[in-house]
Amino acid sequence: MGGLTDWTYKRFWAHVEHPYRRLRRRLLELAGPGLTILDAGCGHTAPNLQELRDSGATLIGVDLVHLEPQPGMELIEADLGRIPLPDASVDLIYSRSVMEHVVDPDAVYGEAARLLKQGGRWIFLTANRWDYVSIVSRLTPNRFHAGIVRRFEGRDEIDVFPTAYRTNDRSQIAHYAAAHGFRIDAFERHGQYPAMFYRVGPLFLLATFFEKAVIKLPFLAGLRGWLYVELVKR
């Protein structure tokens, strides 16, 4: 971007681990030969699964969007609440930036519980419903989301999906986890650079000051933008 945006990023964020990297690091720790790993909401080309190709694991991706065939993995076009795989056939499920779009959490949690083996793990990274971007998103009709995201983030409309925020805080997650036989093994709140304002330097700097306060001050932890969750099937 140049100018103020670049200065702000280099000064405040260049050495901060992005939540995406937190998830990637954990997946690389867990992935290994003999495991079956499912990316629930993998995207058109399953980019996150591609990073696990050298792990020796069996890789499966599921999404409702059109999936382009990728070597070394099985991609399935299906709803996350109805995945055509056998019971207890998966060791690890993960989702990145997906759970905020789930409109029927009971169906998705139930399907994850059905697919996972005993002691299997489900990891997801999702937006916190109490982050300011999530609050604005919830107050804004979904039909306007694509235009707003295109303007501020430059993201293509094809990659913008309706949001629901029905399993995006501690109480919601605990409710559905307990109802479907999961225990919460990890629950973390993470901040990150304010990507929504990356294209507008002054707003990016102002939002950075807010984000840094939210990250630093414990009493504001509930406003951090990302939730990292690990559930284990009982």
- Domain membership of residue 216 as a residue range: 3-233
Q: Are strands 182-190 and 226-233 parallel, antiparallel or unpaired?
A: antiparallel
Residue with tokens 């969007």: 65
Domains in the chain, number: 1
CATH number at residue 166: 3.40.50.150
pLDDT, tens digit, for every residue of 95-113? Answer: 999 999 999 999 999 999 9
- Report the SS3 class of residue 178: helix
Average pLDDT, the chain: 93
Determine the pLDDT at residue 148. Answer: 55
- Report the SS3 class of residue 119: strand
The alpha-helical segments, DSSP class H, found in 64-144 are 105-115, 132-139
Measured distance CA(80)–CA(61) in Å, rounded:
11
pLDDT, tens digit, for every residue of 133-190? Answer: 899 888 888 676 556 555 555 555 545 578 999 999 999 999 999 999 999 999 999 9
Q: pTM, whole model, 2 decimals? A: 0.91
Q: Which two tokens stand for residue 17?
A: 């681990």
Q: Which two tokens stand for residue 142?
A: 């979904």
Cβ–Cβ < 8 Å for 138, 231: no
